[in-house]
């Protein structure tokens, strides 16, 4: 199934959610349609128009927003009053403000982490979910990304460069990058940080230099969240275990950002989930194999809910 044509956004707004934060929100598709909220990755990744293309704009009210400190939300790149509990509360604030009783939740990577945290807190508000590139944010999942025993073994030359370019000082790689992102060379360090993730996602690596705003947001949010264990008070697998809502899980067999054991572990604790492996698929939703699988997953979810 091909992606849907890019629908125009019919409403953009800044929604105040407390502690001085304003979230950038945009809506597209059918204003009277089935509401679906899209949770971007990162943390700090921000949303993009491409994310609208997984949904039939005649059927869905498509809601995209930038999480705190991400994208066009304000204040820019802020990590103040920015935890998973805040993000979950923001989601509920948006739902209430939009007059939505129940919605579909669509998320990828860190968006999966947030989707599960929201589900654990407000299960009655979620009609069903499509989840891509499962990231549970456990210690072992973060270690895979940022310690020598993980993905570093698959990409040793790029890992060596990532280490060599790290800010000087005490502490492990995560601590040093987090500290460097507060200093005068923040954008240089943000570019190196994001390039390592691009290596694992099999997407384009940019030349050394100063990061864009989007890269800076991503690097600052990721180091902030990962240094604090994702601000999760308990295991997401435990928090959501046994929930029977329909869930479509999509995971690529060449996803080097999020190893496949996370997808299987989630599937095993959600009785209403179906796990779909995408042979040759990588991590990014822009991977054509993953993108097509996501369009199909949305259709399957709708059929399950309608039946």
The angle, 0 to 180 degrees and rounded to 10, between the axes of the packed helices 139-146 and 173-180 is: 70
Does the active-site annotation cover 9?
Answer: no
Residue 224 is among the residues annotated as catalytic for this protein:
no
Catalytic residue (choose from 109, 273, 282, 285): 109
The H-or-E segment that residue 214 falls in is helix 213-227
Question: What rounded mean pLDDT belongs to the chain?
Answer: 97
- Average pLDDT over every residue of 97-119: 98
Distance, CA of 52 to CA of 91 (rounded, Å): 18
The one catalytic residue among 283, 284, 285, 287? 283
Digit-coded pLDDT (tens) for 170-228:
999 999 999 999 999 999 999 999 999 999 999 999 999 999 999 999 999 999 999 99
Give percent above pLDDT 70 in the chain: 100
* DSSP H/E element including 38: strand 34-39
Round to the nearest angstrom and report the end-to-end CA distance of the chain. 21
**pLDDT class of 307 with cuts at 50, 70, 90:** confident
| Ordered domains of the chain (ranges, CATH) | 9-136+232-306 (3.40.50.1820), 140-229 (no CATH)
217-272 pLDDT, tens digit each: 999 999 999 999 999 999 999 999 999 999 999 999 999 999 999 999 999 999 99
Which pLDDT score, from 0 to 100, does residue 300 have? 98
pTM: 0.97
pLDDT digits 0-9 by tens, 4-61: 999 999 999 999 999 999 999 999 999 999 999 999 999 999 999 999 999 999 999 9
Distance CA 67, CA 78 (A): 11
Reply yes or no on whether 109 is catalytic.
Answer: yes
Catalytic residue among 66, 141, 214, 255: 255
At residue 2, the pLDDT reads: 83
Burial of 234 (0-12, 13-18, 19+ CB in 10 A): exposed
1 pLDDT more than 80: no
pLDDT at 145: 98
Q: What is the pLDDT of residues 37-49, one digit of tens each?
A: 999 999 999 999 9
């Amino acid at each position: 199934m091909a992606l849907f044509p890019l629908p125009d956004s019919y409403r953009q707004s800044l929604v105040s959610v407390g502690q001085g934060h304003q979230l950038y929100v945009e809506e597209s598709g059918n204003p009277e349609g089935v509401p679906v909220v899209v949770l971007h990755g990162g943390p700090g990744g921000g949303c993009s128009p491409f994310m609208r293309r997984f949904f039939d704009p005649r059927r869905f009210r498509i809601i995209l927003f930038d999480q705190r400190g991400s994208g066009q939300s304000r204040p820019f790149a802020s990590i103040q009053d920015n935890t998973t509990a805040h993000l979950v509360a923001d989601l509920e604030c948006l739902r209430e403000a939009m007059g939505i009783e129940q919605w579909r939740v669509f998320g990828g990577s860190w968006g999966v982490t947030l989707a599960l945290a929201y589900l654990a807190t407000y299960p009655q508000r979620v009609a069903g979910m499509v989840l891509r590139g499962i990231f549970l944010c456990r210690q072992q999942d973060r270690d895979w990304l940022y310690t020598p025993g993980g993905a570093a073994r698959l990409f040793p030359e790029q890992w060596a460069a990532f280490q060599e370019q790290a800010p000087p000082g005490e502490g492990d790689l995560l601590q040093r990058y987090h500290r460097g992102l507060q200093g005068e060379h923040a954008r240089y360090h943000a570019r190196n940080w994001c390039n390592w993730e691009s290596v694992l996602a099999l997407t384009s690596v940019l030349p050394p230099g100063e990061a864009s705003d989007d890269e800076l947001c991503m690097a600052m949010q990721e180091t902030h969240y990962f240094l604090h264990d994702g601000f999760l008070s308990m295991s997401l697998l435990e928090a959501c275990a046994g929930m029977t809502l329909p869930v479509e899980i999509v995971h690529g067999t060449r996803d080097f950002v999020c190893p496949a054991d996370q997808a299987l572990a989630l599937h095993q604790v959600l009785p209403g989930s179906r796990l779909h492996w995408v042979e040759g698929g990588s991590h990014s939703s822009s991977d054509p194999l993953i993108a097509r699988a996501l369009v199909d997953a949305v259709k399957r979810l709708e059929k399950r809910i309608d039946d």
